[in-house]
């Protein structure tokens, strides 16, 4: 059995490490032969496979069609389970690592007349990339960028002179960013994008709903699992193209059962964050546990992420 996701992976060399802010570094990866890398659009992320067996997803700082490198921003997490700590303490320039090629679950809407960008701490990574793409295409944007302190905010010194950027530092302002008032001041019809820690994202979504912003104009990206994965089991999954019937038992994921049956499917994070294992649903009701789909997409029940989601009924039929 082979890992189908390996087809979307390259061995890349760590070319450069530089400080962005307190406990934040940029890591730059290039192809071993110096070749142009596959293109990416703003909001895309890559998966970095660390030598300690851990896989982490990181948003790109730069996007385009002829990229010489993939550059990511990483914040050292004091409660690191071996991801950011390993990158800060063990990775060195010259090391070669397997890297999943860019996927984008957080793209810019090409039709938006005005884009309002919200970033919290290291969540500036995809927002910085979006700002640069919007600027390059001559489109209108504003940004609200929050961090606990000025020293913890990558790119703050570059952004503070731009009147379109509203910087907020908790220790200077005596509290967190007032998201509701920022949304209220936005132009009618604007699209809103937010990336940051989970409390900020939850507050942003709540305030956007309270303001009556249409769901299709609200875009978020979570760094960590938003919901606990469904491992209850007790239902059947039919793989329509393979002609295989599976029984999902307690403690088992659909992805695990599919792989054990010898069916190759792409997968990466196994936490419902990266989007690699998205699968078309032919029938049955899904218990969605991913951090990617919008409420509207969940209600449509057209696709699911089989690494973490399950069934609400007795049976699912999948296009596998």
* Per-residue pLDDT tens digits for 219-234: 999 887 888 999 999 9
Q: How far apart are CA 86 and CA 102, in angstroms?
A: 22
In the chain, where does the domain assigned CATH 2.40.30.10 lie?
4-103
Could you tell me the strand order of the sheet in which 140-147 lies?
165-169, 140-147, 114-120, 191-195, 218-221
CATH number given to 114-221: 3.40.50.80
Give the model confidence (pLDDT) of 225-277 as tens digits.
Answer: 888 999 999 999 999 999 999 999 999 999 999 999 999 998 888 889 888 89
In the chain, where does the domain assigned CATH 3.40.50.80 lie?
114-221
CATH number given to 4-103: 2.40.30.10
In the chain, where does the domain assigned CATH 3.10.20.30 lie?
235-318
Query: What rounded mean pLDDT belongs to the chain?
Result: 94
Q: Domain 235-318 classified CATH 3.10.20.30?
A: yes
Give the model confidence (pLDDT) of 199-209 as tens digits.
Answer: 999 999 999 99
């Amino acid at each position: 059995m082979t890992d189908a996701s390996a087809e979307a992976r390259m061995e890349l060399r760590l070319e450069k490490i530089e400080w962005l802010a307190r406990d934040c570094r940029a890591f730059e990866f290039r192809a071993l032969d110096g070749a142009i890398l596959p293109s990416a659009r703003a909001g895309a992320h890559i998966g970095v496979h660390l030598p300690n067996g851990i896989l982490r997803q990181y948003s790109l700082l730069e996007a385009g069609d002829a990229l010489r490198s993939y550059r990511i921003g990483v914040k050292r997490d004091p409660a690191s389970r071996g991801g950011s700590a390993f990158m800060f303490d063990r990775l060195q320039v010259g090391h070669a690592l397997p890297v999943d090629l860019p996927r984008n679950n957080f793209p810019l809407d090409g039709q938006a007349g005005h884009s309002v960008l919200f970033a919290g701490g290291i969540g500036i990574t995809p927002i910085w990339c979006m700002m640069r793409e919007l600027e390059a295409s001559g489109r209108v944007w504003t940004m609200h960028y929050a961090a606990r302190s000025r020293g913890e905010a990558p790119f703050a010194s570059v952004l503070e002179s731009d009147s379109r950027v509203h910087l907020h530092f908790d220790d200077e302002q005596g509290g967190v960013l007032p998201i509701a008032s920022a949304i209220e001041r936005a132009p009618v019809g604007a699209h809103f994008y937010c990336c940051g820690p989970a409390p900020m994202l939850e507050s942003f979504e709540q305030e956007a709903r309270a303001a009556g912003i249409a769901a299709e104009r609200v875009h978020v990206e979570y760094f960590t699992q938003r919901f606990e994965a469904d491992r209850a089991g007790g239902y059947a999954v039919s793989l329509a193209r393979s002609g295989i019937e599976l029984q999902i038992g307690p403690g088992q994921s659909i992805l695990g059962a599919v792989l054990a049956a010898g069916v190759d499917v792409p997968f990466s994070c196994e936490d419902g964050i990266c989007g690699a294992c998205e699968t078309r649903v032919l029938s049955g009701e899904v218990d969605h546990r991913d951090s990617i789909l919008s409420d509207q997409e969940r209600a449509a029940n057209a696709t699911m992420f089989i690494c973490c989601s399950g069934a609400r009924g007795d049976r699912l039929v999948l296009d596998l």
